[in-house]
Structure 1
Amino acid sequence: MLVLGPLGFAVPWLLSALIVLPVLWLILRAMPPSPRRISFPGVELLKGLADKSPIALRTPWWLLLLRMLAIAALILAFSGPLWRPVVQSQSTGPLLVVLNAGWAAAPEWASRQTRAERALTKAAADGRPAALLIADGRAAPGPLEFAAADTLLASLRAAEPVSWRSVFPADPAQTLANVPDGSLQTLWLDDGLDHPHRVAWLAELTARGPVTVVAPSKAARSLTLHAGDTPSLTLTSADQEVPAILAIGPDPQGIERELARLSPGDGTISGGVTTRPVAIDLPPELRNRVTRFQIEGETHAGAIVLADDRVKRRKVGLVGDADRQLEGQQLLSPMHYLRRALAPTSDVVEGGLGDVLDSAPDVIIAVDQVNMPEIGELAEWVNAGGLLIRFAGPHMAADEDLLEEPLLPVALRQGGRDIGGALSWGDPRGLAPFPADGIFAGLTAPQDVSIRAQLMAQPAPDLAAKTIASLSDNTPLVTRDRLGEGQVVLFHITANAEWSNLPISGLFVDMLNRLVATARVTATEEQAEDREQPFWTPEIVLDGFGREQVPDGLSPVPVEDLAQGPGPDLPAGIYAAGERRQALNAGVEYRLSRWPGATVELVDAPQGRELKGPLLAIAAMLMALDALGSSILAGRKRRVGAITGLALLALMLPAPKVDAQDLNAEITRAANEVALAYVTTGDEEIDETSRQGLEGLSYILRERTSVEPGKPVAIDLDHDDLSVLTLLYWPITDQQPLPSPQAYLRLNHYLRSGGMILFDTRDGDLAGVGGPNMSQALRDLAAPLDVPALAPVPQDHVLTRTFYLLQDFPGRWQGDTVWIEAPPVGAEAAEGMPFRQLNDGVSPVVIGGNSWAEAWAVDDNGYPVYPIGAGWEGERQREMAYRFGINLVMYVLTGNYKSDQVHVPALLDRLRTEEEVGR
C-alpha cells in the first residue's frame, strides 16, 4: 500500500497510467491535415453571410480539461484509494496474536475476533507462520507452536471470554522458545486492565519485534462486594459515568426481575480509575430476595455480584422469659416486642441460651438476663464473631453482683435511675440526636419518645467512645464494645414499654435492624463442619458474558483455592458446602494497562474509507458535462441526440452500492439480535404500547427459551428495509395512513421471503367482531398485499404446540377468532399420523383482534401496564397470552419442525414397510 498523507492506494502501480495524460492532451489537440485550397469564383456570392451554427476548428481548452479530469478520476478510482487508511506494518517474520480473554474483553469480543482473524488471514496470504495465545490460563504449559496461520482460525472462532481476569504464562521466554527466525510481529488485543506478568510479556515481545496493541474503545467497569459489618458494593470504572446498579431477584410471583436500583456515591480517582461506594440500602425483606447485583448496561461477568449468605437475612436468637399465658398480658412481655420487630426481616429462634447457641444464630438477644449458666459458651461465641444484644430490666437492676456481670460493654451501677416515675422529681428524658458517623446515623427520634427509667453506667474515660445512643442529658441509652471478633451491645432500658415508650415506636424497629445488619453470618454446627470441609462444589457458574451456566465437568474446589478468587477451573459462580453458599465473583478493583514502546490502535478504529465510489461518480459527472459541452459545440441539430445519450448514460450508471454500515442502525441491530419489530402508526400511545408489549414478550422469551431477542425495533414502512426482520407486529388503527407503493413492494417481498406479519385489530372486546373482514381499516391496509386464503387456526395446527400446548390464543381480550393461512385442499390426516400435514412453510400473516401487545406490555420496572380480567383468572389469561407469543415466535423461527417431529414414528414405520416390500 502506498500512503501519501491521509490518502492511501491499495493498487499503487495503476497510478503510472497518469503518465499518458500529456500524450492524450497532445493527441486531442492535434490538427487534422491542412486541406487543399481551390479558388472558386462563386464563393464571392457567399461573402457577408453569417453561419448560425459555426463549428470550432480546435477543441476548446475547457473541454480538454474536463476530459483529462474524467480520465484521471477513473485512473484514481481503479487504483483503490482509501482515506486515512490503517497502515499495517510489513513484515516477513512470524506473527503472534495475543488475545486477552478475561471478563473485561467480553463487551467487544466479536470486534476483537474480527481484528485477529483479519491479521491471521493476511499472514496466511503472505505465507508467514503464526501462533495464537489466548490468555485465559487454560493452555497447556510449554512453548507455543507456530504453524500456518489459517489453521488457527478455528481455534480463534471457538474462543470465548472467561469469568476471571486474563492470565499470562509466568515465563514469556520459555513460552516463546520455538519462535521461528525473523522479526516477530505481535498483535495484542488488550482488555484495558493490568494483569500479572503483562509487563514482562510486553518487554519480551518489544525486544523481538514490533508490537501493535488493539485497545478497547469502551471503558471497563467492575462491581465488587465488601462483606463487613455492613455489606456494600464498590463500582470501579475507567470513566466518569455513573451507571445505576440493579438489584435483581424473584418477585412475589417467582419471576426474576429488577427489584431496585442503587445509586453509587461520590468517587475517588487514582491512576485514571474511579471507585465509587454503593450502599446496599434496601429493606431486609427486599435484600433477602436479591440473587445478584449488576451494573446497568454491562454484559460481562465482572459487572455482576452474586448474592450469597453475606447479604442474606440473619438468624436471631431470643433468650428471655416466656410470654405470659394470658392473651391480655402478652403486651407486657419484652419477647413480644422483639418478635414483632424482627420477624419481618430476620429468622427468629426462641428458647434457652443453650438451645439458641446450638442453632448457631448470627445474633443473640438476651432480655433482662443475669447469671446465665452458659456464659462461658456465650463468651466463646462472641469472641468468634457473634453479636450479643442485651436489654436491661428489673432483674438486672436488682442484681447485687451487677458490677461483676460478664459480657457487658460498660460497667453498670446497681439499681436503676427513675426519671419519670411518681416518686421522682425529674421529667422523662427524650433522645439526643444520633451521631452523624454512628451506626444510627440518619435515623430521627420522634419527639414523643421518652425514657422513664434506665440503668446507669459507671463513669469511665472510654464511656463516651462506647456510647452509640444517648438521652437528652447525655446519659447512655445504648452502649457497645468489641470482644474478640464479635461485639456486645446493651440497651440500658427494657425491651417492653415498662421503662420507656421506645419499644412501641418505629424507631425501635429501625435501631434493631441496623444492629442486626452489622452481624457476621455465622454457621450452624452442621454448617461449621461444612466450612471446615476441604472441598466446595460449584452449583452455578458464569461465563465471560455473565450468563449462568451448568457446571458440567467441574470438580469440587479445595477451600484454599476458593479464597484466591476465580481462575482457570474455578469460574465465578455459587459454590456450596452442605447448607453453606458462597459466591465467587469476578469483579475486582483494577489498574489500567500502559503500553510503552508499542503502537496502540482502537478495536473499532476504521480501516479507511474507500474513495472508489465517489471518484467514479465524479468521473461520470465529468463525462456528462463533456457530452453536454460537445453537444453545444456540435450545433443545434446534434443537441437532441447528445442529450438523449446523456440520459442513457445516467441510466446505465450502476446504482450506488449500499454497505451494511449505511443501513439503519436499528434495523441492523434487529438482524443481529433477532429483535421483534412493530409498525409505527403515528399514534404515540399505540406505538408505545407496541414497544412495551414486544419488550415484555422479549423478556419472557429470554427467560423461558433459548431465543434471546434484543430491544424491539420501530419500523417506518416507507423508509426502513424489512428483509432482515423475522416477525412484524402491526396494530391496526382507523387513522393510520396507507403506506406508499414502494412500501407495499417491500412488504410483499418480505412476505414471500419467509417473513410474518401479525395483524392486530385490537377490537376483540367488541361484541360480534370475529374475523379480519370486520375491520374496514384492515381491509384497506391489506388490500395491496399478497395475502393468501385464510382460515381459523385449526386445533391440529403446529402453532398450537411449537412450545406450549394451546387451545386458545388470548391477549388482553379472548374469544376472538385468529386467522392464518388456510391449509391446502385435501390436506387431511393420513393413516398413522395424528395430525394433518398442513402447509410446509410459515404462514405469512396471522390476523386477530385480541390486543396481544396490551397483554404483553410491561413498564420500565417489568410490571404489567394494562389490567386483564380480575384476580387469578386475569393473570391466567396474561400467562396464556405470553405462551401464545412464545409459540408464535417459535413458529416463525422453526416452521413445521414440531409437526415433523410428531410424524417421525409414522415415517419410520412407512420406511420399514417400503424396505420389506422392496425385498
Structure 2
Amino acid sequence: ATLLEGTLATSLPANPGVIVLADVATLSPGETADLLGWAEAGGTLLRFAGPQLAASDVSRDGEDPLLPVRLRSGGRSVGGAMSWGEPKTLAPFPEDSPFYGLDIPEDVTVNSQVMAQPDPTLADRVIAALSDGTPLVTRKRIGAGQVILFHVTANAEWSSLPLSGLFVQMLERLSITAAADTTLPADLAAATWQPDRVLTASGTLEPGDTLPGVSGTALLSEPLGPELRPGLYDGPDRRLARNAHDPERDLAPMVWPAGTRIEGMVRASETPLGGWLLALAMLLLLGDILASLALSGRLGPVRRAALLGTVAILTSYSPDTAWSQPGPEIAEELALAHVITGDRALDEIAHAALRGLGQTLFFRTSVEPDPPVGVDLERDELAFYPLLYWPITPDQPLPSAEAYARLNTYLRTGGMILFDTRDADIAGFGTGSPNGAMLRKLAAPLDIPPLEPVPEDHVLTRSFYLLQDFPGRHMGRTVWVEAAPPDAEQVEGMPFRNLNDGVTPVVIGGNDWASAWAVTENGSPLLPVGRGFAGERQRELALRFGVNLVMHVLTGNYKSDQVHVPALLDRLGQ
C-alpha cells in the first residue's frame, strides 16, 4: 500500500482507497461534493472524533452526508476527575461486524466519546460498541463506498485504544474491506466494457479507444489474447483492470545462460562541451588577430611575446570552472500577508498596516519580515505566510469552493487568520453590524474550532509583551480565540493553565488594528488614533498586540511552559 499525505485537493486526484480525517468538523461545499463523488465510486472515508467535532454543529439537526449517524452536542466524558463512573470497556464484536473474531484486551478503555443520537438506522450502522451499548464505531454505505466514524480520537487523548494492538488489527480489517473486490460476473454480464488503455508486448500502455468492447463475462474469465488484452476497461459506472497474469501464477526471477551480457536501463551521462567550444572560438579569434598583425608588419618581438603569454594564460583555464555561475539565492525571510478585499482604499491601509507592523518587529525583535504581500484567495498559495490579516467589508465577494479548500488547508496546517470587522465602535460582536453579518457568511464554510474570549492566562497576553487589552483604532472590544480544552488544568501555585498545545487558527475582533498599525513609506503614522498622548499610547498597545500575535504564530504556546513562570512572576511583581 502507498501512503499519501496532503490536502484533499491533492489526494483525491490520486483516487486513494481510503482517506482518513482526524477531528475535522467542517468541510467546504467543494470538499464535501468531491468526497461524496469519490466515496460513491467505491472509496472509504475513515473519520475520527475529537474536541472540534464534539463542539461543532455538524450532523446535529440532520444527518451529515459524510457522517454515518447524527451526533449529540458536546460528547460524553466518563472516568475523569470531573465525571461520574469508570472508563468503559469494549463489548464483543457482533458477527456482522468486520471486527468479528478479534480479541479485545481487558486494558482497552474509553474515557470520552461523541454520542450518536438514537435514530431508527442506528442499530444497523454500529459495528463496534462499548460495554454500555453506546457506539464506538459506526458505518454507512455511500454508493459503492462507505464512511466510517470512530467515536473517539485517533490518539490516546480519549481512549487507550490507539495504544493497543487491537487498533492496528481493526484498521487492517477496514483496509481489507475497502480494498475488497466486490465485482461479480452477474454485475458485469449486461455491460460492454470499452478498453481505455492496454498493454503492448513491450510492456507500455497505449490508448485502447480504437479497440472493440468486450463483455463483462469475457473480461473476468476469458484468457488473454489479441481480442482481450491486459489493461484498463471502462464500464457504465466503474473502471476495471485486467492483469497480465493470474493471481495463481507465481513470478520467478529470470535465469540467464552463462556468459549472457545483461544491460540495465542506464542512461549515459552527458559531457558538457559548451565551455570547450567557447574557448576554442576565443582561440580561433585570437589566432585571426595574430595573423592579421603579422601580415601587416605590426607584430614586433615585444608584442609577439605579450600575445603569446596571453594565449598561454587563456589556455591554462578550464572551461568547466571559468564559465561557472553561482546558483540563485533563496529567500529565507517570512512575510506577512493580507487578503485583497476589492476595496482599494482598505487594501492600501492593510498593506501599510503590515508594513508598520513589520518595521516594529524588525526594530524590537529578531523577526525581520520581508515587505508585506496582498494575496488573492482565488489564485495565490497561502502556505508561505504564517499570518493572514483579513479585514471585513459588507460587500466583499464570497470565495469560491476551491479558495475555501485552500483556506481550510491553511488553517489545518498551522496558519492563522486575523479577522477584523473594524466595527468595535458601533456594534457588539456578530450583532447589529453589516460587517459582522458578512463575517458569519465568510466563516461558515471554514473549519473553525470552538471560540472563546481571550482568557487572562492565554499565551497572547505574554508571548512577547505583557498585555491585558488588545486595542486597535478602537477600544473595549472582545477578542475571540480558539477555546481551551475542557480538561485544561491549573497547577496549584501556578498563575497559568497548562495550554502548551498549538496555535489558535483564528483570531476574531473588530478593533481595526490596521488603522493603528498603518504607516507611510517613511515610517510616519498614516491615520490618527485617539487624541494626544492617550492616542499614541493606544497605538503603542496596538503594535504590541501585533508583535504578540506574530510571536505566537511563530513560537506557539511555549510561554505556557512552567519553566518561564519564575521570570514572568518576577516581571509581574508577584
TM-score over 0.5 for the pair: no
Q: Which has the larger radius of gyration?
A: 1
